[in-house]
Amino acid sequence: CPRDELIGTEAFYASIISLPFYTDMTEEECRHVTGLLRDFFRYHLSNIHAAIGSVQIKRFPEIAQKRRALAQTFRQLTQGLGDRLDYLRIHEGFVPFMNCANIRHGRRDALRGFLEKKGIQTGIHWTPGHHFSLFKDCPRDELIGTEAFYASIISLPFYTDMTEEECRHVTGLLRDFFR
């Protein structure tokens, strides 16, 4: 893999440290984390997955532009809902792969039910680690912030070829729900 030549170089560590998630890491911590990450990269793919990936990587600029525009459209069309719906921040340079928002005032599950009745699927794609059976018996402090985040987070529809009309439909339903 050509990327292997970059992993472990000073340029690699500098690029990792410059990411918003790693800005507080020391270089030594970064080397440790990226070393662990390297051990878990999956370099094997089935032939079909490799073929799809080869085609999709050529489309990356188009996909990135579409996803950034779609995320911006969602935010613009629901701008007046800021006290009830708050999208997760998208860092500059990132390409969103999900459209997650916090639903305030304990209304997430009601919103999910409302959208489901209208034929719109949503998801909850983040579960706190301590909810998994492996960690359920581990000692921990009260995780009030973690539980509040988990109770409010929702993944809204979001895919590369989603049309503006489909986006307007979903955001219209969001506005209807919060009226």
Identify the pLDDT of residue 54. 83
Model pLDDT for residues 36-77, shown as the tens digit of each residue:
555 444 556 788 888 888 888 889 999 999 999 999 999 999
| DSSP notation for 87-152 | EPP--TT---SSEEEEEPTT-HHHHHHHHHHTT---B-----GGGSTTTTTS-----HHHHHHHHH
Q: Is the pLDDT of residue 174 over 80?
A: yes
Q: Name the more confident of 131 and 13.
A: 131
The pLDDT of residue 79 is 93
pLDDT at position 163, please? Answer: 95
Report pLDDT for 136.
78
Pairwise pLDDT comparison (2 vs 90), residue with the higher score: 90
Burial bucket for residue 78 (CB in 10 Å: 0-12, 13-18, 19+): buried
Separation between Cα atoms, residue 92 and residue 90, nearest integer Å: 6
Q: Which residue has the higher pLDDT, 82 or 101?
A: 101
Question: What is the tens place of the pLDDT at every residue in 10-23?
Answer: 666 566 555 555 45
Give 156's pLDDT tier (boundaries 50, 70, 90): very high
pLDDT for the residue 68? 95
Q: In the predicted model, is pLDDT for residue 2 greater than 50?
A: no
Burial of residue 79 (CB within 10 Å: 0-12, 13-18, 19+) is exposed
Non-local (6+) Cβ contacts of 97 within 8 A are 67, 158
**Residue 73: what pLDDT?**
96
Pairing of strands 153-156, 85-87: unpaired
